[in-house]
Amino acid sequence: MKRKLRLLSALTCFLLLFVIGCNTRDLEQNSSDRKQAEATQKMLGEAERQVGMPNIVNFQQRKMMKWIFELADRQDLITYTYIKNMQGQFIFVGKSMGYGVPFSVQFTNPKRIWDLEREGGAERKLSDNGEIQVLPQADPNGLFMPTSSSATWVIMIDPETGEPAPQYWEPEIVVTPKPLSKNLGTHLIILPNGMRSEDDWGKNSKKPAKD
């Protein structure tokens, strides 16, 4: 009986020493990580002291983005849509409205907060306990849209009726507010048969598109 007690005591001491050793190593590792983080922050602070923030006074890029947003928001903006072939030529596919919308754009917030306790049936939340998660959220159509896509929705103007209609484009497109032929020359632009310029699009329609 005494031998069993001695053996049990020795085993208990061994386990305690093992646990203490593991904790010590973890503390040493955490201490090393903390020292490295503190040293890095110190260096970043010195870099900030020597360099400082950029001297931005005109905010030109922000002004340009504001102008682009306002231009894209115009309801009467008529644009010209092209695709590019392997020879570097631009194929004119028609007049369009606006600049197109990427297929991956989502109508609602793509993420939502999910609370296990509340959505799991609890009447009130008692604590966090790591049960709050950020999950994907479907669009109103019930579909989860891709986070990225090369496709684009383009509102094309029918040359016969002048009416707008959405089209789905997977090839890379170029949308401009003015005909490319005026900037690049007609030798780089491929037009539909019977057209001399992009402005001929819809000339014979029953309801001409607004320019």
- Give pLDDT tens digits for 43-73: 999 998 899 888 999 999 999 999 999 998 9
Residue type, 84: K
For residue 168, give the H/E element and its range: strand 164-169
Indicate the domain borders of the chain: 1-40, 77-104+149-211, 106-122+130-145
Q: How distant is the alpha carbon of residue 80 from its chain centre?
A: 25
Q: What is the pTM of this model?
A: 0.62
Give the range among 5-9, 36-40, 93-97, 160-164 with minimum mean pLDDT.
5-9
Mean residue pLDDT of the chain comes to: 79
- What is each CA distance from 27 to 15, 17, 21, 32, in whole angstroms? 18, 15, 10, 8
pLDDT band at 127 (very low <50, low <70, confident <90, very high): low
CA–CA distances in Å: residue 45 to residues 31, 51, 151: 21, 10, 44
Residue 27 has pLDDT above 60, yes or no: no
